[in-house]
Amino acid sequence: MSETELRNADIDAALAEAKEAYVKRNPKSLARFVEATAVMPGGNTRTVLHYAPFPLGIARGEGCRLWDLDGAEYIDFLGEYTAGIYGHSHPVIRAAVDRALDAGVNFGGTNLIEARFARAVCDRFGLERVRFTNSGTEANLLAISVGRIFTGRSKVMVFNGGYHGAVFGFAGGGSPINAPFEYVLAAYNDIAATRALIEQHASDLALVILEPMMGGGGCIAAAPEFLTMLREQTTKVGALLILDEVMTSRLAPGGLQQVRGVKPDLTTFGKYIGGGMSFGAFGGRADIMDLFDPRRPDALPHAGTFNNNVLTMSAGLAGLTEIYTPDAARALNARGDALRERLNALCRAQNAPMQFTGIGSMLAVHFTRHPVRSPADAAKGDQKLKELFFFDMLAQGIWLARRGMFTLCLPIGDAECDRLASAVEEFLASRRSLLNGG
């Protein structure tokens, strides 16, 4: 066998051993999984949460900690894929939800909170108008739809490896259940090729949509000059620029667009802004958003029984105005930047083919020495080492995404960051022979 084949065999053996230990530690989660498979396909109703041999069953959460069915405790470094920024039991959020429940849940009418919440969102993110939805997927679906109507054009530019919700997945070129728009697929961070595509499709390109930092794609930031080019070129050809800040709006008081100095025509939101409840929103220019004004004879319809539900409106308003203030946003993301630099320093000290990308309170691990500027770069990393890292972190009480994503929530402090750094240091030491072969 070649040196590479021997190394791969060693990684396979280590991964098999880690999974065997995982199965032995979690008999109740296995039983829950088997029971769930009788009524849900694969025991699952949310694909990203599945991993082999079976996912852990989470029994409860408090602050920044989780407990599984078998009693193991974890520090929650996943933060519900950025939605759980307030942790699992913030008293201000709980009080807001309790007040909403006490006053009645489903009104079938406008309530006294939604306009206040809309004002807070508009002021925070520099929007002229906003409308609420139930998810980031819905927000992107409606933003893209109104963009096509407003411009009178059909084509939608997206980026390979991008993700904008359940019907907007573009890893590997796209998902078979994507919404049936006419897509133009571009390469993230490739300025010359993307500019050429915009010019090629100028006459029928309705819009360009992207995350200013890919979340699901591996916490890969768009280069500032790439965003600037997109703003200039879309304006030049009369297309709209939509920034999906469902995840990245947490990275600065006014979202990542504030940091980058790029003003889109529309922005989409979700996740934490609803206070941990189901939430989405889209907003921006008044001349575009006012197509939904029901006072117009030609108004576009926008339905959704729970768009303005009192639980989300109440939790969202409390969270955005009382808890995740601009100062809190700056502090949390400074903590995340410091943690990412600390973890990368550990990797450099061991000369390991391992790095953490991201901005602020969002980060992801990649097993490669090369710069990661696109999903194609990330795909070149060692995926088996990433899987081994996942199971090793679970064994040390660190909860993260199977794909290697971490997000910080507000209850995470110095002690928790120390725990993560120690766990990564232990991984680097215990798996040194596997890493050094990379």
Sorted by where each starts, the structural domains of the chain and their CATH numbers stand as: 3-85+327-436 (3.90.1150.10), 91-323 (3.40.640.10)
pLDDT value, residue 360: 98
pLDDT higher than threshold 90 for residue 5:
no
pLDDT value, residue 102: 96
pLDDT tens readout for residues 85-141: 999 999 999 999 999 999 999 999 999 999 999 999 999 999 999 999 999 999 999
pLDDT value, residue 3: 80
pLDDT tens readout for residues 212-226: 999 999 999 999 999
The whole-chain average pLDDT of the chain stands at: 97
pLDDT value, residue 436: 86
- For the entire predicted model, the pTM comes to 0.97
What value does the mean pLDDT take over residues 380-386? Answer: 97
What value does the mean pLDDT take over residues 182-205? Answer: 98
pLDDT tens readout for residues 250-291: 999 999 999 999 999 999 999 999 999 999 999 999 999 999
Active site residues: 163, 244, 271
What value does the mean pLDDT take over residues 9-19? Answer: 96
pLDDT higher than threshold 60 for residue 438:
no
Q: What's the per-residue H, E or C state across the chain?
A: CCHHHHHHHHHHHHHHHHHHHHHHHCHHHHHHHHHHCCCCHHHCCCHHHCCCCCCCCEEEEECCEEEECCCCEEEECCHHHHCCCCCCCCHHHHHHHHHHHHCCCCCCCCCCCHHHHHHHHHHHHCCCEEEEECCHHHHHHHHHHHHHHHHCCCEEEEECCCECCCCCECHHHCCCCCCCCEEEEECCCCHHHHHHHHHHCHHHEEEEEECCEECCCCCEECCHHHHHHHHHHHHHHCCEEEEECCCHHHHCCCCHHHHHCCCCCEEEEEHHHHCCCCCEEEEECHHHHHHHCCCCCCCCCCCCCCCCCHHHHHHHHHHHHHHCCHHHHHHHHHHHHHHHHHHHHHHHHCCCCCEEEEECCEEEEECCCCCCCCHHHHHCCCHHHHHHHHHHHHHCCEECCCCCEEECCCCCCHHHHHHHHHHHHHHHHHCHHHHHCC
Confidence grade of residue 74 (pLDDT, cut at 50, 70, 90): very high
pLDDT higher than threshold 90 for residue 364:
yes
